[in-house]
Structure 1
Amino acid sequence: MYHSLNVQQLNLIDLPGYSDKQDEVSKDVEKAKSATQIANVLLYASPAKGHINGQDMERLRNLLRLLPAPENECKDFPRLGNFFIVATQADPSIPDDELPKILNKASARLYKELDETAIEFRRKLTKQDITKEDVQKRFFTFWSERPDRCQRLFDDLTQLLRETLPKTVICRVDREINAVKYDNKQEYANSIEQYQTTIAKIDEYRKELEKAEKNEPERQRQMWQKRSEVSKCINDLEKDTRKSFQTYAEKQIDVDSIEKMISQRYDKKKEAQEYAPGYLVDLLQTHVENRISVNSEKLKAEIDAFLEKYPVPKLPNKDGIVVSIPFDTKGAFLGGIAGLGAYGALAAWAASLGNLGGYILVGKLVSLLSALFGATTGGTAAVISFVSAIGGPIVLGIGLAAGFASLVWNLFGEAWQKRLAKEIHKHLTKQGVVNKFLAGIDQYWQETATAFDQGADAVEAKCKQYLKHLHEITSTDTQSKERIEQIIINLEKLRVFFANIPWDTQGECL
């Protein structure tokens, strides 16, 4: 009988919301920020009057980056389908014909401010185009006494929670279980063949092992050298990220550059003072994220090369194919980093393993899989890891927006664009924006270095256990053959178990 997955439960978390204070230090804010790490659906409420102001915009920039992408799991999932922006307090004092205008203006403003940054990140994450119309569809009104002002929200949310979102859960579970079935079935079949070859050529294997044991001091020296090379690479990538950001930031926060940006993007003073500071901070964040993504991809190749260098005694089987007793370096490395709370650039490396197939059975890996949910490529996993590390410059952006809300304009003198540019430059310098980003960069790469060291330690420990295992099964003890035969029997049981897991493909998955 095949198992059928029926998703019937969900958790609704009603958070107190964000503070309007510049420092955003209240416990309510901490609760809201912590929920972004676990939420699958976001409903962001903002009053219909003054819908989506500067503070709202800064929060949404970061919330959209961290929101999972069910579009990558299920082909039926609508674009931005788990993203709801609700104009609350849409009471009767607002005329019927005004509500659509409020939503249209707010959605157009959101698209304009986020198109190059958070929305572009979402495009890359989902490999889908996102238009102004797509964003507009995610805006809703709410006033409970008037069904015409809340029914569309109810209908869309009900459809999502009752049908669309459960499909994505089914698709993800289906993908992972099928990966476990296939990958482990293949892995155990290969292991059986390798142990059978060992029985047939145990004397040859013993000689190969003796060579390996004699070479053990040299192996450890070489691996330590290669490990040092990876550590140096991490340090170099950190320096490159810092240098790239500093060069970019120096150009962007120049007064003339800020003035040019304001003149090109904003016609009205009020709009510019409310949104320009946050837009500039978002540009800085996006540059860091792009550089982080590129450099994390470079590190992936270094990690793979390091793991491939682990020597394994090998023998040709009857067909001339080289075989060896299995030693899963990637699985050992993953097991080493899985207990950490932060992975830095190694999130990109782990994401490159695809469905993780056989590695999903590593007990501690659940948190890692959760962290990578929705990240289908190494680059996006790296960006999400960086945003989590830095906490997002959300507080900084909101502080800027709130600070400029009370700016008084002189009637004479320089153009308002120049004066605002000077004020933005002064505030950025005073708040130490560049240094805060640099601190985030340092934290990201330090987490990378820590994770690499822990993973490398785990691989080295597993390698020593592996060599000890080879010694046991190839010893001159007459029971060594019986040991191998028992191992083969156990492996065959596992192969049959995974091959026959009763699971039917479910859902319209990608």
Structure 2
Amino acid sequence: MFDLKDFRQNVLKMTQDDFAKMIGVRQDYVSRMEKTPEAIEFSMLLKIAQATGTTLDELVGYKKSIPNALEVSNTWETSSFIKKTLLDYIKMKTEDIRLSSEEKYKKMIKDLYQMIESTIVKPSVAIVGMSDAGKSRLINSLLGMDKMPTSWTPTTSISVHIKHIDDRPDFIEDEVWIFKGDKNGFDVKKLTNENYCSKWKIAGGTTSLLADYGTRQGDKYDIEDASAAVIFVESSILQICDIVDLPGFGTGDRKNDDILAQKSREIADVVIYMSIANGFLRGTDIEFLKTTLNSLPVIENKGNKLSPLNNLFIVASQSHTVDNGNKTELERILDAGATRLYSEVPEEIWQNREEQSVYKHTINDLRNRFFTYTTDKPYLREDFEREVKQLLENLPTIINKNAKESLQKYVEDSKILLENDIEQYEKIIYEREKYKQLLADIRKNEPIRIQENQKARMEVLEKVEKLHKESIKQFEDEFASIISVDNIVEIIKDKKYKKKKQDMESLAGYLSSKIQAKMQVVLKDNAEDLNKSIDKYLKNFNVQINKFESELKGFQVNFDAVKAFASGLAGLATFGGLAIWASTLGNLGAYILVAKGVSVLSALGITVAGGTAGAASVVAALGGPITLGIALAVIVSLSVFAFATGGWQKGIAKKIVKEYSAQDTFGQFVEEIDKFWDDTENAFNAAADYLDDEWKKYVDDLNDMVSSYSIKDIEQRIINAINLKDFFVEMPLSEPAMA
């Protein structure tokens, strides 16, 4: 594609007005041609060639040069080796281990395999920004090749996942596959699942498909089902990360684009947010950035020594357009942007991040994450490229360390479980009569256990219902205190907002974020209260299954109620407040959250921080799309508001209160609260049902061993358990395999 704007600026060194005079057209006509260069007629190309002294071939062959690819050290190579070593070990050893029909042993190995697959993965870098921010140019620059369709008009409409060629599954032979998906889009984590990919595939071919499906000029753009594309490329940077180009938001063309950009960003490990330098951090940018800050994985902590917000890059793109790339002027723009953003982020968001990282976040910490960028002038992108390179080269070490700790804990827990099984099998051989008595006691107690368990379940569900109602009431009080004329006037005065459009946009955005933050605090606190009820329920379950006659007192059933209950969550799409409970479970909780779709660095970080930090991480994304939508709607309404003279603060406050009412802001957030607690209730019931089923399987299995198994059969089980324990003991988790 002929890049007229770049040709005019960097080859001819002319303004639009001078260029228009040279070819005999109006300046606005040149502007339109630069926005849609693919629509320039042949006669006009011929006129430009004649006026500029170039041949037509030279002109249409002109293409803006791409900087050399960002060269990084392949620090993922060790991770890749570790992952392959562990998976090969599992495949080789399981062929030698006799597991008979013992499903729980097969599940232990399957869970281990999936844990390795889901935790030793490359970090995901999301490129985000409004549709004219130049995301595709940045990606092409990082890759060192022209793979993403670029234009000065808004383009990308689907999420594009860019992976290294070595990560391409064997069943995919094309450079690009285009996918549709369900209501949540295409799950790229299932890319190795051939059946899943074949089900959702729309088309396959070369990167030219991206222009067809992913640009507003493309032939297939109107196919609403297209939600994602995966492209496989040979590039240095892709050896250590995946890149995701998210739909540009804020154009209004497709309402789902904004939601998709929001949701996809929530599972990214690193976010690069782009905003045009000449008009840096407009109101929409600020709103999207605040929701990004709220849910950005907290990967920094005292252990890894990463600085605060290390995985956030706020980039002033096309920096060469500001006074021809004047560094002093650009630094001033970045300073102003950081100051504005910091002042508009509610303190609750910073507190939330502090709980997870133990770092306080100062305005200097935020300012350090602001960078200039352009492909035209290398000195304006040096700082950005250096920081990106340093972070991406360091992340594999962090992932390795956290994955190693998680896997070692799983292995240790598995060895203990197997030792308990071996002990139980041996006792069954030598104390069969005692176990017959145990089964008799279990059966005798079962009606009482079922009754007591049902009662305990109802207590938890009643607690959920109570917390649901309390959450709405508490949020109602918070909402009323925020969206009141007096409070808004006070905020205007405290923040020294002036009677101008930008300040009123800031005010509306601040209020929306404040509402979201208060809702998150309410849900976090109440869900942590629910944790006590869940723990009490599981403790009661253990008490009930260990009620025996006097001669068996002190006997403990070899059944892990907590693990069985938690395993019942793993297959659920959403689980509300139970996610906060899961975040207290260490490596088991991390595995459950990763399976749900939480970013790997975020989930593994929970195992390091745990407790309150886990809860803060889980609620961080709640209400994001709602907050963004309401803030933008209120900003639009205020843009046509006529400021009265005199006490304008009260007038604007009344207008804002009225607009929040018109948007049914309270109702929309209550729907989010309702969904949170409905998901909690459904997740609890599903996990409790799974727990009951696992208990029944345990009792049936115990009955089979005591009643019908021969000594030889039980001895074989002992051999199976010993073999599996040896399998875990010999796992290559020590140095140098897990360096």
Structures share fold, TM-score greater than 0.5: yes
Instruction: Please show how residues 206-245 of structure 1 align to structure 2 within 5 Å.
Output: 206-245=436-475
Aligned to 2:274: 45
Deviation at 1:226, TM superposition (A): 0.8
1:409-454 per-position Cα deviation (integer Å, ceiling 9, x unaligned): 23x34x2211211111111111111111111100000000000010
Instruction: Please show how residues 309-320 of structure 1 align to structure 2 within 5 Å.
Output: 309-310=540-541, 311-313=544-546
1:106-146 per-position Cα deviation (integer Å, ceiling 9, x unaligned): 11111122150322221112121211111111000112211
Among 338, 342, 356, which residue is 2:570 paired with?
Answer: 338
Deviation at 1:407, TM superposition (A): 2.8
1:59 aligns with 2:288: yes
Distance 1:469 1:324, change over 3 A: farther
Among 517, 520, 529, which residue is 1:286 paired with?
Answer: 517
Which is further off, 272-281 or 496-505?
496-505
| Mapped partners of 1:495, 1:164: distance in 2 | 34
| Mapped partners of 1:252, 1:10: distance in 2 | 42
Among 392, 410, 417, which residue is 2:649 paired with?
Answer: 417
Which is further off, 292-301 or 198-207?
198-207
1:455 aligns with 2:692: no
Aligned to 1:122: 353
Aligned to 1:276: 507
Aligned to 1:174: 404
TM score, norm. by length of structure 2: 0.63
Distance 1:498 1:122, change over 3 A: same
| Mapped partners of 2:78, 2:277: distance in 1 | 43
Which is further off, 68-77 or 104-113?
68-77
Which is further off, 439-448 or 298-307?
298-307
Among 197, 202, 206, which residue is 2:427 paired with?
Answer: 197
Which is further off, 432-441 or 486-495?
486-495
1:5 aligns with 2:79: yes
Distance 1:286 1:31, change over 3 A: closer
CA contact (8 A) 2:280 2:316 kept: yes
| Mapped partners of 1:491, 1:391: distance in 2 | 48
Deviation at 1:231, TM superposition (A): 0.6
1:188 aligns with 2:418: yes
Among 308, 312, 337, which residue is 1:83 paired with?
Answer: 312
RCO comparison, higher one (Cα < 8 Å, 6+) = 1
Which runs of no fewer than 5 residues in structure 1 stay unpaired? none
Distance 1:385 1:500, change over 3 A: same
1:438-481 per-position Cα deviation (integer Å, ceiling 9, x unaligned): 11100000000000010011011111111112212222x4x444
Read off the aligned partner of 2:339 and give its amino acid letter: A
Read off the aligned partner of 1:409 and give its amino acid letter: F
CA contact (8 A) 1:344 1:444 kept: yes
Distance 1:239 1:93, change over 3 A: closer
CA contact (8 A) 1:234 1:449 kept: yes
CA contact (8 A) 2:508 2:635 kept: yes
Which runs of no fewer than 5 residues in structure 2 stay unpaired? 1-76, 81-121, 123-238
Instruction: Please show how residues 242-391 of structure 1 align to structure 2 within 5 Å.
Output: 242-270=472-500, 271-310=502-541, 311-313=544-546, 322-356=554-588, 366-367=595-596, 370=599, 373=603, 374-375=605-606, 376-382=609-615, 385-386=618-619, 388=621, 390-391=623-624
| Mapped partners of 1:492, 1:508: distance in 2 | 25
CA contact (8 A) 1:45 1:85 kept: yes
Deviation at 1:491, TM superposition (A): 1.4
Aligned length, in residue pairs: 494
Identity of aligned residues (%): 31
Which is further off, 56-65 or 321-330?
321-330
Deviation at 1:28, TM superposition (A): 3.2
Deviation at 1:239, TM superposition (A): 0.6
Deviation at 1:325, TM superposition (A): 4.3
Which is further off, 150-159 or 330-339?
330-339
Distance 1:457 1:72, change over 3 A: farther
| Mapped partners of 2:389, 2:375: distance in 1 | 16
